[in-house]
Amino acid sequence: MEIIIATRKSKLAQVQADRVIELIKEKNNISSKKLLVVTEGDKRLDVTLSKIGGKGLFVKEIEYALLNKEAHAAVHSMKDVPFQLPKGFKLLAIPEREDIRDVFVSRNNIPFEELKEGAVVGTSSIRRAAMLREIRKDLKIVPIRGNVQTRLEKMKNENMDGIILAAAGLKRLNMEEIITDYFDPKIFLPAIGQGALGIEALEDGEYNPYLKKLDNKEVRIAVEAERSFMKALNGGCHTVIGVYSEIKGNDLYMIGIFDIGGKIVKKDILGNREDNIELGIKLAKKIVKG
């Protein structure tokens, strides 16, 4: 008995899949192996995601592997998963979440606060670009895509002063030492589901009962609230959307941003964690009202 886990080929995606394989072993004493899949998003590094279709580009080919029975489940970064899964698919578990923050990686170890006027910063996320502009209007923001290693190479080769990455990826790759600054997630709001892993399978998948055991209830509550917020606003890679969520006891606190007519609107909400889906929708409505 062996569970086949589909994942992207990047080093980070494989580290994440290996972590899920460890958890499957811990919870069920079942062995698993990886099936490596090259996605459209991995092939098209020359254009920004918003121009070629957004989030689903990292997921689609992996879902085909599940449909074709080449794999039993898939491991995704939750921030790559569209809010609407195709018919017949299910998000079985959201096992854990790393640091949700975005970070600044400097080419010459110059802290973000000390960057010269007109410094060049790389990011292809329109959310990150918008957040940067809120803090520093003078920065020159240039597009940069690819896996972590590719982006670091581009930063050096193209003489950028720094790039913005997710703390979670660098920590999972044991590359924390290259982080120059951590952004405050209540000010520089993360992507929906940033730092969280998701396990997807067909609704009738034979190993689903084992995979469901990996679910972390608290992480799922926060991530599903964020995804509910995204769904209510029809957000994705083509929109400036960010969210910070925090669970304290029975409370769920959320801060959200969304671009309304070229202006970034920021609102927050506090409620009972059991009403997580409803809170995401309420936060979206609050933002739309301005």
**Contact predicate 135/189, CB 8 Å:** no
**Contact predicate 124/142, CB 8 Å:** no
What residues pair up with 242 in beta bridges, in sequence order?
A: 257
**Contact predicate 66/6, CB 8 Å:** yes
| Sheet strand arrangement including 241-248 | 241-248, 251-260, 263-272
Q: In 97-160, which residue ranges form alpha helices assigned H by DSSP?
A: 126-135, 148-157
State which amino acid sits at residue 20. Answer: V
Handedness of CA 144, 149, 155, 157 (dihedral sign): negative
Strands 162-166 and 181-182: unpaired
Q: Any catalytic annotation for residue 18?
A: no
Choosing from 80, 99, 102, 161, the catalytic residue is: 80
Angle between helices 148-157 and 11-28 (to 10 degrees): 160
Q: Return the active site residues.
A: 80
